Structure 1
Amino acid sequence: MHGKVFFIGGGPGDPELLTLKAYKIIKKADVIIYAGSLVNEKILEFARDDAEVYNSASMTLEEIIEIIEDKAKENKIIARIHTGDPSIYGAIAEQMRELDKRGIPYEIIPGVSSLFAAAAALKVELTLPEISQTVIITRPAGRTPVPKREDIEKLAKHRATMCIFLGVHKIREIVDKLLKHYPPNTPVAVVKNASWEDETILQGTLENIVEKVENKGIKRSAIIIVGKILEAKDFKRSKLYNGDFAHGYRQ
């Protein structure tokens, strides 16, 4: 018999943003493997006192799978905790592929992405009527390559709301690419450690955000959000709550 693996979205940082389902799994898990470089260790306080806990920050994929396989053979419940929501830059697909090979059952429990924690911190809606109805989630190329068709400069042609992960250390290069299509006065926000106690918010435009980020010394753990939604005030109200608009629940 095999145990079961739960890939858990640990949320952006604030332990209270953990989902109820994730909380329940962590409380009963026999084994916890968490991404220690990013996951708030306060979440581990929800674990059983006798749970086996492993920090995967310095581990390889092979080492992680070896632990999972050994513990699954012991019919144990394994909580594999990733930061934010594991479906975005979570590197869970390669783990699931290995579990499929071994016939080990697993389930994914979604979590609150740092992107949405950042939007909440900024008190903005990422989609506004006739301002932007598209959100582009992307990252710049680094040691992990990005398909050429998805280069930030090409995506910028849409002038949609753009949310850039894993790129604040390349803020100058990113802004240069964005300026190929966005106007210089386009609003930009950089949110570091969204929902953590040391959350930091920088706001500006494509003209001045580089200087602000460099002066603050932000080089990691930040989301870059670009678009008119950041400071739009003169936008049309939604149809959903418009008394002149009928739908299945309102005539």
Structure 2
Amino acid sequence: MKGKVIFIGAGPGDPELLTIRGYKAIEKADIIIYAGSLVNPEVFNHRKREAKVYNSAILDLNEIIAIIEEGIDANKIIARVHTGDPSIYGAIGEQIRELKIRNVEYEIIPGVSSVFATAAALESELTLPEISQTVIITRPEGRTPKPKKESLTSLASHNATMCIFLGIGMINEVVDDLKEEYSENTPVAVVKKASWEDQLIIRGTLKDIANKVKEENITKTAMIVVGDVLNPGNFKASKLYDPNFKHEYR
């Protein structure tokens, strides 16, 4: 038996949104390192009784790698459980870099991102014909700096659908940046803890969404979605199911 690290996207919160492959990986893991309160602990209720469980919210990178190294030396299977899909703001790149230095075997199991759980909660298609065919996934600049060309104002110039992570705590600044390019009447929705039992949805426009967020005292764990797809009116149907449109993939 050889030790291995398995990065697992645990999904947005609802344990039933954990993939089958992710479920099986957690089931066989000897060590579980999960990303704190962002991960619903129910996603690893089926773990082995003897599995060791660590909350990475109280660990730094060196401490995480030390736990992994100890497990690998003992030929253990390590489940590194991240919220949503680990490729988006999951900080797996720096962990993978350390594993490569140490020649540690690993694999990545994708998960359902909170972006898509949010869209489902809003009952919205993020790409509607002639309204928006582009989805921008981003975050405002905080402790982590952003390239200058990726400022919210710069990205907003496209007037595409925008899904903003990690911005609810600075909602005023986010709205001010967006209003540089979007109309203040542009629809906005905020979804707190998409797919969790205590999910909360707030709808408004750039003109009033900040006040609505403050009234609900939402300060974290929420996605901001901006764009006309949220209130499209009478939009045109796609060509995909047009009776006069022929292609080989439908």
Indicate whether the TM-score tops 0.5. Answer: yes
Question: For the residues of structure 1 that align with 2:249 and 2:174, how far apart are their CA atoms?
Answer: 44
Amino acid paired to 1:141: E
What do the CA deviations read for 1:10-53 (whole angstroms, capped 9, x no partner)? 10000000000000000111111111121001112021111111
Counterpart position of 1:31: 31
Counterpart position of 2:71: 71
SS in 2 for 1:46: coil
What do the CA deviations read for 1:158-177 (whole angstroms, capped 9, x no partner)? 00000100000111111111
* Cα drift, residue 249 of structure 1: 4.9
Q: Is the 8 A contact 1:2 1:104 kept in 2?
A: no
Counterpart position of 1:136: 136
Amino acid paired to 1:174: V
Question: For the residues of structure 1 that align with 2:196 and 2:248, how far apart are their CA atoms?
Answer: 40
Question: For the residues of structure 2 that align with 1:41 and 1:249, how far apart are their CA atoms?
Answer: 40
SS in 2 for 1:225: strand
TM-score scaled to structure 2, two decimals? 0.98
What do the CA deviations read for 1:147-189 (whole angstroms, capped 9, x no partner)? 1110001111000000100000111111111111111110000
**Are 2:82 and 1:93 aligned?**
no
* Cα drift, residue 233 of structure 1: 2.9
Question: For the residues of structure 2 that align with 1:247 and 1:141, how far apart are their CA atoms?
Answer: 43
Counterpart position of 1:223: 223
Q: Structure 1 residues 132, 69: closer, same or farther in 2, change over 3 A? A: same
Counterpart position of 2:122: 122
Counterpart position of 1:238: 238
Q: Structure 1 residues 81, 28: closer, same or farther in 2, change over 3 A? A: same
Q: Is the 8 A contact 1:136 1:161 kept in 2?
A: yes
Matched positions, count: 250
User: CA RMSD for the aligned pairs?
Assistant: 1.0
Question: For the residues of structure 2 that align with 1:233 and 1:241, how far apart are their CA atoms?
Answer: 20
Amino acid paired to 1:205: T
Question: For the residues of structure 1 that align with 2:177 and 2:53, how far apart are their CA atoms?
Answer: 43
User: Sequence identity, in percent?
Assistant: 63
* Cα drift, residue 217 of structure 1: 0.6
Question: For the residues of structure 2 that align with 1:233 and 1:157, how far apart are their CA atoms?
Answer: 22
Q: Is the 8 A contact 1:30 1:52 kept in 2?
A: yes
SS in 2 for 1:32: strand
Which consecutive unaligned segments of at least 5 residues does structure 2 have? none
* Cα drift, residue 87 of structure 1: 0.2
What do the CA deviations read for 1:194-229 (whole angstroms, capped 9, x no partner)? 001110000000111011001111010000000000
Counterpart position of 1:21: 21
TM-score scaled to structure 1, two decimals? 0.98
SS in 2 for 1:93: helix
**Are 2:176 and 1:167 aligned?**
no
Of the structure 1 ranges 39-48 and 16-25, higher mean CA displacement relative to structure 2 is found in: 39-48
Q: Structure 1 residues 249, 133: closer, same or farther in 2, change over 3 A? A: closer
Amino acid paired to 1:230: L
SS in 2 for 1:218: coil
SS in 2 for 1:239: coil
Of the structure 1 ranges 241-250 and 201-210, higher mean CA displacement relative to structure 2 is found in: 241-250
* Cα drift, residue 2 of structure 1: 4.3
Which consecutive unaligned segments of at least 5 residues does structure 1 have? none
Q: Is the 8 A contact 1:140 1:167 kept in 2?
A: yes
Counterpart position of 2:192: 192
What do the CA deviations read for 1:79-136 (whole angstroms, capped 9, x no partner)? 0000000000000000000000000010000000111101000000000011100000
**Are 2:39 and 1:45 aligned?**
no
Amino acid paired to 1:154: S
Question: For the residues of structure 1 that align with 2:144 and 2:179, how far apart are their CA atoms?
Answer: 24
Question: For the residues of structure 2 that align with 1:113 and 1:233, how far apart are their CA atoms?
Answer: 27
